[in-house]
Amino acid sequence: MADITDPQIILFSNIYMRPIAEHIRNLGLLMDDAAVEYTTIISPLLAPFAAGDVLIDGRASEGVTPVTKQDIEGLITQVGSVRNEVNAAGAAALRAKFTVTPPSL
């Protein structure tokens, strides 16, 4: 195998690829935690509410858009889809080649 020494390729790897791999790793860990908490705690707590019921988190005065039960369920479904990609066979091993810093949440 030939050594790749082009400074522009090295810079690209260091500026983009390594940080992206680390962000994906950290996002994967955060999504794993969210999925467990949703399944074990939040889903049963949400069960009695209707799809359109609004989460009152006291942030409306900050301009934060209110979310509904349906929004929460929709996003956790998207989280599941992204987790499948992040956790696909070989994906973690490939990211590990690029990561330098320890995981952080």
Q: For residue range 54-101, what is the model confidence (pLDDT) as tens digits?
A: 999 999 889 999 999 999 999 999 999 999 998 888 888 888 888 888
pLDDT, position 104 = 80
| Any domain includes 103 | no
| Any domain includes 18 | yes
Nearest C-alpha neighbor of 45 from the set 67, 73, 80: 73
| Any domain includes 26 | yes
- Give the domain range for residue 14: 7-50+63-98
Phi, psi torsion values for 54, nearest 5 degrees: -100, 135
| Any domain includes 40 | yes
| Any domain includes 1 | no
SS (H, E, C) 47-89: CCCCCCCECCCCCHHHCCCCCEHHHHHHHHHHHHHHHHHHCCC
| Any domain includes 57 | no
Measure the CA angle with vertex 88, ends 16 and 32; round to 5°.
85
pLDDT digit string, tens, across residues 6-61: 999 999 999 999 999 999 999 999 999 999 999 999 999 999 999 999 999 999 88
Q: Which pair of tokens denotes residue 37? A: 């908490």
Asked whether the predicted pLDDT for residue 105 surpasses 80, the reply is no
Number of domains comprising the chain: 1
| Any domain includes 75 | yes
| Any domain includes 2 | no
pLDDT band of residue 103 (cuts 50, 70, 90) is confident
Distances (CA, A) of 78 to 45, 60, 61, 65, 81: 20, 24, 28, 19, 5
Give the separation between CA 72 and CA 50, rounded to whole angstroms: 12
